[in-house]
Amino acid sequence: MCLICVEMTKNKLTSKEARSNLRETYKTLPKEHVYEVIKMIWKKEDEEAEEAEQLLEKEEHENH
C-alpha cells in the first residue's frame, strides 16, 4: 500500500484528490500498484455517486 491507498481507506481523500495525488506519484509506484490505485479510485467514485444520489432523493422527499 502507498499513501494514496492508506488515505483513501481512511476516507481522508476524495476520488478527485486521489486522482491528482496519483498523477504526481505514479512514476514512483510499481505499474501493478498504479492499476490497483486506479481501481480503488473507481470504487470510490461509485460510492460518491451513490451518496450524491441518496442526498438528492432525500432532498426531493423533504421538498414534497
* 49 is a site residue for Zn ion (CB under 5 A): no
How far apart (Å, rounded) are the C-alpha atoms in residues 45 and 6?
16
Nearest approach, Cβ of residue 62 and Zn ion (Å): 39
* 1 is a site residue for Zn ion (CB under 5 A): yes
Q: Which of residues 3-22 bind Zn ion (CB under 5 A)?
A: 5
DSSP conformation class of 28: G
Which one, 30 or 51, has the nearer CB to Zn ion?
30
Could you give the C-alpha distances from 10 to 6, 18, 30, 32, 61, in angstroms and in order? 6, 12, 22, 22, 31
* 56 is a site residue for Zn ion (CB under 5 A): no
- What residues make contact with Zn ion under the rule CB under 5 A? 1-2, 5
